[in-house]
Structures are given as structure tokens and as C-alpha cells.
Amino acid sequence: MSSTTDASAARAQIAARTLRTDRWWLPPLATFIAFTAWVAYATVRSFMQEYYYVAEYNYLTPFYSPCVSVGCVPEASHLGQFLPDVWWLPYAAVSLPFLLLFRLTCYYYRKAYYRAFWLSPPACAVAEPHAKYTGETRFPLIMQNLHRYFFYIATAIALLNTYDAILSFTKADGSFGLGLGNIILVVNVVFLWGYSLSCHSCRSIIGGRLNHFSKHPVRYKLWGFVSRLNTKHMQYAWITLATLAFTDFYVMAVSAGWISDLRIVG
Ligand code: FES
């Protein structure tokens, strides 16, 4: 096989689009609906510029961390406030684009949205509508190779989210507090770490470029741990979409006064 174009020319010449008789269109359709709904929610929330922080319990939604606009509450601005407060700039404009790029270039999400949005191909053994296939060898898809750099940035942001979750155990008056919001923030952070550490680039960074695992026992152990997580990467990708949206919604609901936080201590 000399090139990707040759590969598509070499496909079996079958008149029917597919010979599959199962409901192969269901997974890409479900992915399309779920991704569209999630992106719509996240976009609205990112530009809302309110209901992102619960002062009494120190709850900060991950969609606004770090909050770097001059319009942010100071308690949410771990990295300072240096962006103008204008409606078209999300308060977390320094982290959101990188988180988006981290997920856009993720190996699992690529598979999911290539199928669900570009139908390239929509499923195994189903012909795609595109006449030519060039893979990820040209601009813009060659940029998918930047994934490992977005991984580094996303890891730094996950550290900030962890810091937010820890801070939330201290109430505004300085005393310890524990409520349902703390549990939701912590669960979200744990799954975010599951997603980040199960990343294929993470596995390659930890265990790659080694000729002898026996000479690097610590990296070998870590690689084994990350490899086990890696088998569940798709699940983490979906679970974190759910935990992120739910965490944000909960903080919004408490912040807006729609519900009260369920308090366990304090
Ligand atoms: Fe999915 Fe890296 S492969 S986050």
C-alpha cells in the first residue's frame, strides 16, 4: 500500500453503501446528539459570567477556573485578573481553549467525532461519503499531533481544579465545611484525573522511548498503572463530560439560589 489515496482506491467495489444489517447508525447518532447538547450547554455557561461561585462554601465551577477577568470574584482568581470584562470573553478564557483542544485532539474523541460529525466513516464496514481520504497527514488534521502538548496544559489545569476542590472544604468564615457540593467537586476531579492519566500520550510519555523496562522499574510500574487506566479511556471521556456538566450545574443552582447545598458538616 503506497499511499492513503491508493488505499481508498483499493476498497472492494460494492454498490451498496454497506452490507451491515444491524443498527450501525445508532452509536454515531447518539454521539452526535450528546456532543451537540454538551457543547451547547458549555458554550452558554462559559459566556454567562454569573452563577459560577458560591461564596459561602467556596465552590467554584470548573468552567470558570482559573477566573482571570477583572469581573471575577477575587476568591476565584488564583492566577490574578488580567483580562477585560467584556461579554464575548469567557472569564476562564486562558484555560477553556486548551481544554477544548485537549479533547478535540484526544484519540478517543477523534474516533467519535470523525464518525458522528464527518461520517468518515460513520461505522465499520460502512462506506463514507468522501471520495478522498488523506488521513491526518495535512493541515488542519496534522495538528492532531499536538495532542501531547495539550496534555501538559490540561494536567496543569487539572491541578488547579484539584486545588479548587481542596479549597472548597474551607468556608468563607475560615471554618471547615462539608456538603454535597464538596463531594460533587471531588468526584469530578477524581474522574478528571482518570481521564488525563488514561490519555494515550500520557502512557507514551511515561513508558515511551525506553529500550529496557528492567532498567527503569519506577517508570515501568507507573506505565503499568497508566496502561490499566488507558483501557478505560473511552469511559473516562464520557464520564467526565457528565461530571463536568453536572458539577457546573450544581454550582450554578446553589449560586443562583434555586437549591440549597445539602450540608453534612458546618
Ligand atoms: Fe484522549 Fe489523550 S488520548 S486525552
What pLDDT does 131 receive? 81
Rounded Cα gap, residues 92 and 83, in angstroms: 9
Tens of pLDDT, residue by residue over 138-193, are: 999 999 999 999 999 999 999 999 999 999 999 999 999 999 999 999 999 999 99
Q: Which one-letter amino acid corresponds to residue 155? A: T
- Per-residue pLDDT at 226: 97
Pick from 202, 210, 206: nearest CA to 233 = 202
pLDDT digits (tens, 9 = 90+) for 56-83: 999 999 999 999 999 999 999 989 999 9
For residue 121, how far is its CA from the centre of ligand 1 (angstroms)? Answer: 20
Q: Which of 192, 199, 227, 244 to mutate to test the pocket of ligand 1 (most atoms within 8 A of CB)?
A: 199
Residue 76 near residue 65 (C-beta atoms within 8 A): yes
Q: Which atom of ligand 1 is nearest to the CA of 195?
A: 4
Partnered with residue 69 across adjacent β-strands are: 83
Query: Quick one: pLDDT at residue 13?
Result: 77
Q: What is the mean pLDDT of residues 91-97?
A: 97
Within 6 A (CB) of ligand 1 lie 106-108, 147, 151, 199-201, 233
Question: How many beta carbons lie within 10 A of that of residue 152, not counting itself?
Answer: 13
What's the pLDDT score for residue 4?
A: 47
Locate 133 and state its grid cell: 481520504
**Beta strand pairing status for 263-265 and 178-179?**
antiparallel
Give the SS3 label for residue 93: coil
Q: Which of 136, 152, 200 to mutate to test the pocket of ligand 1 (most atoms within 8 A of CB)?
A: 200
Give the three-state DSSP class for 232.
coil
pLDDT value at residue 149: 98
Predicted confidence at residue 15, as pLDDT, reads 81
Tell me which residue has its CA closest to atom 2 in ligand 1: 199
Q: How confident is the model at residue 3 (pLDDT cuts 50, 70, 90)?
A: very low
* Number of other residues whose CB lies within 10 A of the CB of residue 7: 12
